[in-house]
């Protein structure tokens, strides 16, 4: 697979055209483009090539890119609208229920910008008559009385991986609320692993929490048989990707908090316009080990191109010296 073909499939998979986007906000205003820090037409193809140059086996990475899910800001807002429509339909009261609903987002564990911040910013757009700022709850502990008076409670997030963080946040709030009688309670998720949603449903049910769990879209592990790679290819491809991932992460898969193959081996291929979740393969977002990721996480400053080139050159020299030493000792 060639780079241009992979990018074309990336566009088709995500129902967008790179030509519509630009990374410079002022240029967007002049040229009537949509701003995006990752997929701007002025940077995306060159960034992809610079990223590929760090790896020996590029065709496999291009196949991953072709199947990658990317969510620009406008599409993100549309998915939020889909979630609110789904809540209204499940309540069977129409959109009027939204005016009597609390939307609770999850806090960032590291105190940096999270999906919850973005959701609270974009969710009211297009719902000015039914969703006010006071209905968007960032700190449930400080708003328990307000939440208790709501007819509907929606815990909302853009990504659920293992589901453990979501479960802890939901149960912590519900335990403090006391009586949940006559309330509709949802965990609404934009993207999730299928297994995590089923596990959350079972856990809430077994513990007696009346929480209805649903996701707008489901994610597959990139190493799922028949998804991107055939049964015959899986072993070889996964072994190679693990080697790349562990080199970048500096840890083995599942070692401590390793993000090799995605946090807890999630193996996802997903980025949002504002950041990339660590459940995604780290080669797409981590700027370590000479990697130049196309969807770098915004929690860290991306190294300059010259710095990355320097790291790559040193690694090549070290590999050459090691090979030379091995030949000498034969």
Domain boundary among 219, 251, 277: 219
Q: Rounded CA gap, 263 and 195, in Å? A: 16
Q: How many domains does the chain have?
A: 2
Domain region containing 150: 73-219
Whole-angstrom CA distances from 88 to 44, 123, 192, 238 are 38, 14, 21, 42
Same domain, 116 and 206: yes
Same domain, 282 and 270: yes
CATH of the domain at 135: 3.40.50
Residue 3 has pLDDT above 80, yes or no: yes
Same domain, 169 and 108: yes
Alpha helices in the chain (DSSP H): 3-14, 25-31, 44-52, 58-66, 73-91, 115-122, 144-148, 164-177, 194-206, 231-249, 305-328
Same domain, 110 and 244: no
Instruction: Specify if 135 maps to a domain.
Output: yes
Instruction: Specify if 327 maps to a domain.
Output: no
What pLDDT score does 149 carry?
Answer: 92
Average pLDDT over residues 115-123: 93
265 token code pair? 């081996």
> pLDDT tens across 59-106, in order?
999 999 999 999 999 999 999 999 999 999 999 988 899 999 999 999
The answer to whether the CB of 33 falls within 8 A of the CB of 27 is yes
Q: Rounded CA gap, 151 and 98, in Å? A: 9
What pLDDT score does 316 carry?
Answer: 55
Instruction: Specify if 159 maps to a domain.
Output: yes
Q: What are phi and psi of 102, to 5 degrees?
A: -100, 130
Residue 9 has pLDDT above 50, yes or no: yes
Reported confidence tier of residue 128, pLDDT bands at 50, 70, 90: confident
Reported confidence tier of residue 307, pLDDT bands at 50, 70, 90: low
> pLDDT tens across 132-191, in order?
999 999 999 999 999 999 999 999 999 998 888 899 999 999 999 988 888 999 999 999
What pLDDT score does 315 carry?
Answer: 54
Whole-angstrom CA distances from 50 to 185, 242, 276, 308 are 46, 20, 19, 10
Domain boundary among 219, 238, 270: 219
Instruction: Specify if 175 maps to a domain.
Output: yes
Instruction: Specify if 28 maps to a domain.
Output: no
The answer to whether the CB of 262 falls within 8 A of the CB of 268 is yes
**Among 264, 226, 227, 262, which residue's Cα sits nearest to residue 244?**
262
Please state, as a whole number, how many other Cβ atoms lie within 10 Å of the Cβ of residue 201. 16
């Amino acid at each position: 697979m060639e780079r241009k073909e992979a990018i074309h499939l990336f566009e088709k998979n995500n129902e967008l055209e790179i030509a519509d986007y630009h990374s410079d906000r002022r240029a967007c205003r002049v040229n009537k483009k949509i701003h995006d820090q990752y997929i701007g037409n002025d940077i995306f193809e060159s960034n992809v090539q610079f990223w590929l140059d760090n790896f020996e086996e590029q065709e496999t990475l291009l196949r991953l890119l072709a199947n990658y899910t990317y969510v620009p800001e406008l599409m993100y807002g549309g998915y939020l609208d889909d979630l609110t429509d789904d809540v209204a339909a499940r309540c069977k009261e129409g959109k009027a229920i939204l005016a009597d609903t609390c939307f609770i987002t999850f806090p960032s564990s590291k105190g940096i910008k999270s999906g919850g911040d973005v959701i609270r910013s974009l969710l009211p757009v297009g719902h000015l008559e039914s969703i006010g700022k006071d209905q968007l709850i960032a700190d449930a502990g400080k708003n328990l009385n307000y939440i208790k008076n709501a007819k509907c409670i929606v815990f909302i997030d853009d990504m659920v991986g293992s589901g453990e963080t979501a479960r802890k946040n939901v149960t912590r709030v519900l335990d403090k609320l006391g009586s949940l009688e006559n309330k509709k309670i949802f965990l609404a998720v934009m993207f999730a692993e299928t297994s995590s949603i089923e596990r959350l449903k079972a856990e809430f049910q077994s513990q007696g929490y009346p929480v209805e769990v649903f996701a707008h879209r489901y994610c597959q592990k990139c190493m799922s048989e028949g998804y991107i790679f055939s049964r015959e290819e899986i072993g070889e491809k996964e072994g190679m990707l693990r080697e790349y991932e562990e080199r970048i992460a500096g840890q083995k898969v599942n070692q401590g908090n390793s993000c090799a193959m995605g946090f807890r081996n999630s193996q996802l291929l997903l980025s949002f316009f504002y950041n990339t979740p660590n459940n995604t393969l780290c080669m797409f977002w981590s700027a370590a080990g000479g990697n130049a990721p196309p969807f770098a996480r915004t929690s860290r400053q991306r190294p300059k191109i010259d710095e990355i080139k320097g790291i790559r050159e040193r690694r090549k020299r070290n590999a050459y010296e090691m090979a030379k030493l091995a030949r000498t000792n034969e």
